[in-house]
């Protein structure tokens, strides 16, 4: 697989974003190759979630443009689906309705959308929990619901905002492994915000390091050697270990 020549699912061009006098993003440009997982990694306050929400169309940029499949976008669209850090599940709705909610908003008929939702509930490993309510599930299971909801609308681009930060360490590892097979099996583009260096190196085809005040892309790293290895040997791969170390060295000065 030659990643460099693939075209981009998402491209960010010269985006500026201010919050009052605070410059959150300054002249930020970044490409997200189709079918791959790109991580946005950086210390807190570096604007990675802001960038993701601008791409999602949830907040407007002050200037610059976001291209999805080479088309400029200005708001949310069916080509992108968002996975939220705090899951953003409706506590009054069952797992089935939560997963089908994206389709419900698009006006898909009830029987059809529930059939699709059931398929993805099974895919994320929650079969049998269709009629449970979010408060009856663990954090990890709730995020699986959030993931199934994003998958069920069949968007080309999945935007994930620190999706695993609110789940425990073991669940998180399992999620990361599942994410790798998801990227491999689904022909989708993943944008992944994280503040964990290990996580970024473990799951990414491309890592964009963002530095704060004002935010800019300081470096783009593409792990080469271990991407096609099986999930168990990645963490022992010398390139994996070197990358984690190298990124830490470049980030440590920004950590208070």
Partner 1 sequence: MKVFGYQLPNMSSLILWGLLWEIVGQIELPFCLPPLSAIFTTLLEIGGTPAFLKALRETAEAFAIGTTAAIVIGVPVGILMGKSRLIDELLLPWVNIFLSAPLTALVPVLMVLFGFGLTAIVITTALFAIWIIVLNSRAGVMHINRSLVEMAHSFGASPFDAFTKIYFWAALPEILGGVRIGFIRAVKGVIIGQLLISIVGFGSLFELYASNFLMKHFWAVLIVLFALSFVIAEFLAYLERRVEYYAARR
Q: Does 88 contact partner 1 by CB under 8 A?
A: yes
Query: Between 135 and 252, whose beta carbon lies closer to partner 1?
Result: 135
Contact 28, 2 (CB under 8 A): no
Q: Does 82 contact partner 1 by CB under 8 A?
A: yes
Segment interacting with partner 1 (CB under 8 A) among 42-50, 66-74, 127-135, 237-245: 127-135
Helix, coil or strand: residue 154: coil
Least separation in angstroms between residue 82's CB and partner 1 is 4
Beta-carbon-side half-sphere exposure of residue 232 (alpha carbons within 13 Å):
0
Contact 12, 28 (CB under 8 A): yes
- Interface characters, 142-161, with partner 1 (x: CB under 8 A): -------x---x--------
- Candidates 91, 232, 252, 253; binder of partner 1 (CB under 8 A) is 91
Contact 144, 99 (CB under 8 A): no
Q: Which helix (H) or strand (E) holds 45?
A: none
Least separation in angstroms between residue 233's CB and partner 1 is 36
The rounded Cα 153 to chain-centroid distance in angstroms is 15
Q: Does 109 contact partner 1 by CB under 8 A?
A: no
What is the spatial distance between Cα 216 and Cα 214, in angstroms, rounded to a whole number?
Answer: 6
Least separation in angstroms between residue 204's CB and partner 1 is 23
Segment interacting with partner 1 (CB under 8 A) among 50-58, 63-71, 173-181, 203-211: 50-58
Least separation in angstroms between residue 52's CB and partner 1 is 11
Segment interacting with partner 1 (CB under 8 A) among 89-97, 122-130, 164-172, 187-195: 89-97
The rounded Cα 89 to chain-centroid distance in angstroms is 17
Query: Between 106 and 119, whose beta carbon lies closer to partner 1?
Result: 106
What is the spatial distance between Cα 226 and Cα 234, in angstroms, rounded to a whole number?
Answer: 6
Token couple for 205: 């085809």
Q: Does 3 contact partner 1 by CB under 8 A?
A: no
Q: Torsion angle, CA of 35/246/216/208, rounded to 10 degrees?
A: 0
Contact 186, 148 (CB under 8 A): no
Neighbours of 188 (CB within 10 A): 20
Q: Does 56 contact partner 1 by CB under 8 A?
A: yes
- Candidates 33, 35, 43, 57; binder of partner 1 (CB under 8 A) is 57
Query: Between 93 and 217, whose beta carbon lies closer to partner 1?
Result: 93
The footprint of partner 1 (CB under 8 A) covers 53, 56-58, 76-78, 80-82, 84-86, 88, 90-92, 101-102, 104-106, 133-135, 149, 153
């Amino acid at each position: 697989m030659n990643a460099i020549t693939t075209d981009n699912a998402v491209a960010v061009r010269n985006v500026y974003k201010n919050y009052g006098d605070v410059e959150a993003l300054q002249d930020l440009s970044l490409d997200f190759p189709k079918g791959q997982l790109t991580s946005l990694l950086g210390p807190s306050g570096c604007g990675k979630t802001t960038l993701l929400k601008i791409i999602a169309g949830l907040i407007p940029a002050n200037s610059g443009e976001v291209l999805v499949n080479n088309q400029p976008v200005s708001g949310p669209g069916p080509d992108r689906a968002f996975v939220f850090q705090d899951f953003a599940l409706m506590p009054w709705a069952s797992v089935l309705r939560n997963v089908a909610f994206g389709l419900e908003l698009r006006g898909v008929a009830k029987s059809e959308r529930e059939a699709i939702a059931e398929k993805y509930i099974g895919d994320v490993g929650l079969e049998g929990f269709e009629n449970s309510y979010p408060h009856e599930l663990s954090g990890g299971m709730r995020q699986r619901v959030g993931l199934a909801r994003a998958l069920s609308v069949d968007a080309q681009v999945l935007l994930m905002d620190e999706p695993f930060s609110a789940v425990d360490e073991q669940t998180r590892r399992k999620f990361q492994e599942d994410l790798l097979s998801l990227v491999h099996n689904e022909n989708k583009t993943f944008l992944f915000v994280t503040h964990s260096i290990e996580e970024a190196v473990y799951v990414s085809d491309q890592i964009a390091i963002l530095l704060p005040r004002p935010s800019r892309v300081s470096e783009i790293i593409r792990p080469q050697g271990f991407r096609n290895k099986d999930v168990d040997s990645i963490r022992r791969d010398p390139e994996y270990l070197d990358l984690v170390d190298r990124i830490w060295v470049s980030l440590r000065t920004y950590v208070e």
